[in-house]
Structure 1
Amino acid sequence: MSTKPISVAVIGAGMAGRTHANAWRQASTLYEPGVLPPVRLAAICDAFEPFAKASAESYGYERYATDWKEIAAADDIDVVSIVVANRLHREIAEALILAGKHVLCEKPLTDTLEDAKAMTEVAEAHPEVVTGIGFGYRRHASIAKIAELAQNGDLGEVFHFDGRYWCDYGVDPNTPIAWRYKGPMGSGALGDVGSHMTDVAEFICGPIKRISGATLSTVIKKRPPAVEGVAGGRGMAVEAEATEVVENDDVAMFNAEFENGAVGSISVSRVAFGDPNALMFDVMGTKAKASFDLARGGEILLNDETAEPGMRGPRQILTGQNFPYFKGGSSMDFAGVGTTQIDQFNFQARAFLGQVAGIDEGLPPVPSFAHGYRAIRIQNAVAESAANDGAAVEIN
């Protein structure tokens, strides 16, 4: 094993940026000790200096910066997380790749199809650089277990997926405008939480081939002006006249057809009253049904053929050491402890560092920019279907 440290940095110190900062810090504590090279926590960058300074101090990073170009130019940084507004991803990612840095970019890859394609082309032109897209729910132990059941045939032939991801971060009309509320239709709730739900659906059921019946809705059409220091337009209400126009969707609903013949229905929202972060889905197969609710993330529900007729029903299975990522992924890795959304960031960071170091620990690789480009194509297909009265649109 190389003893040269892998030096990491994070661009963006809002909610998700701090979670990335914590994940790089935790990654080397997971699984077998001494497998990864040492991880050096080099820098955190944010244009809002109080965020950058506080995050660097809180998570033990050596320094902070307010200009991402300092990170790109730094000779002592190997790996960078990009966790800023989607429209900024392309310029930053391309500069980092050209500087020879490995890049883990939060989803969605960007807010336009053209930029996503260009980012992917730059990444593919530099195969020596590892790129990743942050679809972290595929690292959630319970979700990964359901995907394993589906792929191993334990559910029988999977024929129906029903998923919903409902959040209330935008339900208050006095929440100020931010980058989340700007950009084309399809880059709002669909691009934010919907991209996660669509990725989970493909992770379990395989590739989507067609979208139909899509509807996009903007419920709150104007918001107060932006407030400095409010990360992503979450968690704060202001008393001000609503003058800024919301450009994208608050709610998205659509149907999906998968290449394996399964069908699905997905709904997502950022204005779901009383649902802070509600991700739920059901997967139906010819032999069983599996269900997941993020509010009960330390379990899955499984209804299958093991019980006698007349005694069947959903049974709770606690996340434990036979679930992906769980064994060795915590200092208390036994059933009943549970798992959280934070854990999946840690598992993702560990896998990405292993890729950078060329170490095979049996962890699936973090999906590359090419996967992020595909996700944007699906997102665009939903927007196109919605713009054409729900017409079917092929994924190409």
Structure 2
Amino acid sequence: MPTASIGVAVVGAGMAGRAHLSGYRTASTLFDPGLPEVRLVAVADAHEPFARDAARRYGYRRAETDWRAIAAAPDIDAVSVVVANPLHREIVEGLLAAGKHVLCEKPLAPSTADAQAMTDAAARTDRVAAVGFTFRRSPAINAIREQITDGGLGQVRHFNGHYWCDYGHHPDAPMSWRYRGGPGSGALADIGSHLVDLGEYLCGPVESVRGTVLTTVVGDRPVPLGTAVGHSAAVPVGDERAPVENEDIATFTLTFRSGAVGTFSVSRVAYGLANSLGFEVFCDNGAAAFDLVRPGEFTLADATPAGPVNGYRQVLIGPDHPYVAQGLPMDFPSVGHGQNEFFAFQARAFLDQIAGLDRLPPCPPLAHGLHNLRILDAVVAAAHADGRSVTVA
């Protein structure tokens, strides 16, 4: 029987949580009609002011302070989990056991053991259980992917990617869960998980890792006296400082099963770069590049133009590219869009899966989140392998 309506909720009212809340609010306005009514039901956050403010801003019916209230609510069908990584397992397993569809933010869990348990829990239900890798929804990145998969650029030979942020640059930025955990749980898990996923999205499965360097630049941070949202430093701190337990910078090399090589660099202490994701992909018959600072375009080089005018050329994103037609209010070439739209496209794909529609590429299952963590484990292991390759489990 067709789904009459879908009640949605979000656990976590921080920076990414708000992006999910907004995404659900927008999802029913996107693409083809036919999606059941989307009911904006609840937002839960342990810090009640965050929950209440987010519910008011994004038009959700109520605010909760415990995810268990979301699990127990009969008017909620689908839930995004957008909280600290160590909390994912308990919440996801509890929501699945309560019969909810679940979209969990990346990285899926703090360990592959936790991720395996979550994946096993999903296998015991008939619910949609997905992991959020939002950059897979970028129109420009998908346009580049089409040039690869359709054969225009040919076989990928080299992927060079970076994700550089500066949220951890200041040594007096407050301590948070992002700075706790062992090697690999810092910049690598937080932003490197996105970059590794994009490498596979364009180049295929990873086979091995080598040459990892993990570096901690800021050794300790002040303990906050209040609650911060996202990467915010606008929270009072005291005199007490706590040790940073994970890496600020990670660099490594991946080898893909296809034979392509990927060079990766991630940092949370890149001065002046708030959110700088970019890559170049070099293929047999051409190359392409993308920079999140300019999300509505990419550059492309191939043999099409004549020699005197051959070279990289700018391609402006428009309705001939993925997600733009009916995905933007003004779906016109070069109108522009940003990362917030990726969350809306992802929310629509998740809701389509729940409704049994197949018009958009589905969100990756929890098993893909487990696979991503296995790659990150291999990256950490390669830091102690004396230059030898570490095979991905």
How far is the alpha carbon of 1:247 from its aligned partner?
Answer: 0.7
Q: 1:179 aligns with which of 177, 180, 184?
A: 177
In 2, Cα distance between equivalents of 1:69 and 1:125: 20
1:303 corresponding residue in structure 2: 301
Unmatched runs of 5 consecutive residues or more in structure 2 = none
- Contact (CA 8 Å) 1:224, 1:238: kept in 2 or not? no
The within-5 A match list for 1:148-163 is 148-163=146-161
What per-residue deviation string (whole Å, max 9, x for no partner) do you get for residues 74-118 of structure 1? 111100000000000000000000111000000000111110111
Q: Structure 1 residues 49 and 381 mapped into 2: Cα distance closer, same or farther (>3 Å)?
A: same
- Contact (CA 8 Å) 2:158, 2:281: kept in 1 or not? yes
1:112 corresponding residue in structure 2: 111
Q: 1:364 aligns with which of 358, 361, 366?
A: 361
What per-residue deviation string (whole Å, max 9, x for no partner) do you get for residues 149-192 of structure 1? 11111111210000000000110111111111111210110001
2:323 corresponding residue in structure 1: 325
How far is the alpha carbon of 1:308 from its aligned partner?
Answer: 1.1
Q: What's the RMSD between the two structures over aligned residues?
A: 1.3
What per-residue deviation string (whole Å, max 9, x for no partner) do you get for residues 209-265 of structure 1? 000001111110100003422024433365543621111111000000001110010
1:130 corresponding residue in structure 2: 128
**1:108 match: secondary structure:** coil
1:97 corresponding residue in structure 2: 96
In 2, Cα distance between equivalents of 1:248 and 1:136: 24
In 1, Cα distance between equivalents of 2:235 and 2:62: 32
Q: Structure 1 residues 291 and 55 mapped into 2: Cα distance closer, same or farther (>3 Å)?
A: same
What per-residue deviation string (whole Å, max 9, x for no partner) do you get for residues 113-155 of structure 1? 11011111111121x1101111010101001111111111111
Unmatched runs of 5 consecutive residues or more in structure 1 = none
How far is the alpha carbon of 1:269 from its aligned partner?
Answer: 0.5
In 2, Cα distance between equivalents of 1:350 and 1:38: 12
- Contact (CA 8 Å) 1:180, 1:233: kept in 2 or not? no
The within-5 A match list for 1:1-396 is 2=2, 4-33=4-33, 35-126=34-125, 128-236=126-234, 238=236, 240-241=238-239, 243-361=241-359, 363-396=360-393
**1:354 match: secondary structure:** helix
In 1, Cα distance between equivalents of 2:98 and 2:83: 19
Give the alignment's TM-score, normalised by structure 1: 0.97
Q: Structure 1 residues 3 and 364 mapped into 2: Cα distance closer, same or farther (>3 Å)?
A: closer
In 1, Cα distance between equivalents of 2:81 and 2:380: 25
**2:214 match: secondary structure:** strand
In 2, Cα distance between equivalents of 1:6 and 1:345: 18
- Contact (CA 8 Å) 1:174, 1:238: kept in 2 or not? no
- Contact (CA 8 Å) 2:226, 2:236: kept in 1 or not? no
**1:281 match: secondary structure:** strand
- Contact (CA 8 Å) 1:156, 1:286: kept in 2 or not? yes
In 2, Cα distance between equivalents of 1:285 and 1:53: 50
In 1, Cα distance between equivalents of 2:158 and 2:382: 21
**2:308 match: secondary structure:** coil
- Contact (CA 8 Å) 1:177, 1:233: kept in 2 or not? no
What per-residue deviation string (whole Å, max 9, x for no partner) do you get for residues 256-279 of structure 1? 000111001000001100000000
Aligned length: 393
- Contact (CA 8 Å) 2:211, 2:382: kept in 1 or not? yes
What per-residue deviation string (whole Å, max 9, x for no partner) do you get for residues 50-80 of structure 1? 1000000000000000011111111111000
Identity in percent: 50
In 2, Cα distance between equivalents of 1:298 and 1:140: 9
In 1, Cα distance between equivalents of 2:244 and 2:51: 28
How far is the alpha carbon of 1:286 from its aligned partner?
Answer: 1.3
What per-residue deviation string (whole Å, max 9, x for no partner) do you get for residues 284-321 of structure 1? 01111100000011001001111112321110000011
- Contact (CA 8 Å) 1:179, 1:233: kept in 2 or not? no
In 2, Cα distance between equivalents of 1:56 and 1:239: 28
**1:160 match: secondary structure:** strand
In 2, Cα distance between equivalents of 1:232 and 1:351: 25
In 2, Cα distance between equivalents of 1:241 and 1:151: 54
